[in-house]
Amino acid sequence: MKLLKSFFSLSLILLISYPFTALATETRLNSMGGTKLYTRDNTDIFTFPGTIHQYAGQAVGELRAKGNNDQYSIGFQTEEESFGTFGVYLNNPVDYYFQDIKDQLNYLQNVEIERKIDVFYGRKLTGFDLGLHVSLAIDRWLDEDPNGDGNKDDKHKESAHLFSVGAGVSSDLFDVAAEFDFPGFKAEVAKEEETIGATGIGLNGRMYLGNKEGLEIIPVGQFYIGPGNYKYDMGITGAKTEEIDINKLELALGLGFNYHIDKNNLLILGVKGFGLDKFSYDEKDGDEGSGQTMTLPGVYFGIESQIKPWLTGRFGGSQIYRSTKETYKPKDGKETSESIFDDDFGLTFGLGLHFGDFTLDALIDEGLFFDGPNFISGTNEVMSTQLSLLYNF
């Protein structure tokens, strides 16, 4: 079966690329070595909904790829004293591993869950802030006469959805949050039916130790589990229904150091001491397989400096060591495995331009430093690979 054959090769890609959460105003911390979890930033609302009170009165636009509307998103959050804080984000990207699995199925090829709507609500309570977060992505597709013979009994129908709900509490001392994901795909072709679905549960937490105006130490912990099931029913009486249990597991422990050198300069160091990312499948009365990536360790570094009242400079880097292992066990055969060790290094640069209540953040293309702009080198290098526009009101 195509799905089963593809699971083994897909697992490595999924484990390396899957993140815990989607971002909103991404550019600032992406240009600082990806230090998101190890400092305070308005991107926190997607991981820790309780922080929304700290960033009320903002509108955000994200341009992730030049000229690509599918990669753009926009949102705002505002506070009304008697009601609380409310926020909406449109066209946010979904990076969920089911989307990649879906592409390997027999019939589920015409629907996707790549963009979603996010809604936030929060209230400030005694001693802490409460935040709620709901996400929704849906898609539908229908061909009433795929064979062109006028027989609508052979219609091809597909659907996909991702519904997520989360809640969190935050204070000056900690952020804690839980999330629940309910993704699903379904295809009906004549009497055949193919489905895949899961229930994901995630827990995120971090503490703040020390002085946030000087040196602040931030322990971080994350956990996610997503058991699911795949079924393929041929619609023939007596025929066996194919069934595969799947599971996604993530675990990460890290420590961040935020050092405010002075009021204009910030240094961030984040260390992921341990990270486990595992995907496994078990076919009923059939084959088994898994792929896992361990991070030992990942180091993230970023610097931000207020050069002028209207200009902020940023740069950062990351060094990540990974151990990847894939295992495959056929129904009636011997288990085999393969292990790979690798490391990645990245360097990033960014600028923030401030115009009154507007801030434009840019992730600078490194090619610009080597080749210069077009009128000097004649190259087609873009100046920026990502932009964020933030308006405070």
- What pLDDT sits at residue 252? 97
At 346-365, the pLDDT tens digits run 999 999 999 999 999 999 98
Strand partners, 355: 358
Alpha carbons 230 and 17: distance in angstroms, whole number: 22
Interval 44-48 mean pLDDT: 95
Closest by CA to 246, choosing from 218, 200, 282, is 282
Q: Is a pLDDT exceeding 70 seen at residue 376?
A: no
**Least confident range of 61-65, 172-176, 268-272, 321-325:** 61-65
Share of residues in the chain with pLDDT > 90 (%): 65
pTM, rounded to two decimals: 0.86
Residue whose pair of structure tokens reads 């009923």 in the numeric block: 284
pLDDT, one tens digit per residue, over 184-221 is 989 998 889 999 899 999 999 999 999 988 999 999 99
Which DSSP category does 105 fall into? S
Query: What mean pLDDT comes out for the span 113-141?
Result: 94
pLDDT of 3 strictly over 50? no
What's the total number of domains in the chain?
1
- pLDDT tens for residues 61-104? 999 888 888 889 999 999 988 899 999 999 998 876 665 565 66
At residue 376, the 3 state secondary structure works out as helix
Q: How far is CA 282 from CA 16, 243, 257, 324, 329, in A?
A: 21, 9, 41, 20, 10
DSSP strand pairing (58-63 vs 72-80): antiparallel
Structural domain of 95: 2-392
**What's the pLDDT at 342?**
93
Average pLDDT of the chain?
87
Cα–Cα distance measured from residue 44 to residue 37, given in angstroms and rounded to the nearest whole number: 8
Q: If 0-12 CB within 10 Å is exposed, 13-18 middle and 19+ buried, where does residue 77 land?
A: buried
Q: Which residues are bridge partners to 324 per DSSP?
A: 293, 340
**Contact at 8 Å (CB) between 362 and 336?**
no
pLDDT higher at 13 or 215? 215
| 226 touches 200 (CB < 8 A) | yes
pLDDT for residue 106 is more than 80: no
Q: Which amino acid does the sequence have at 338?
A: E
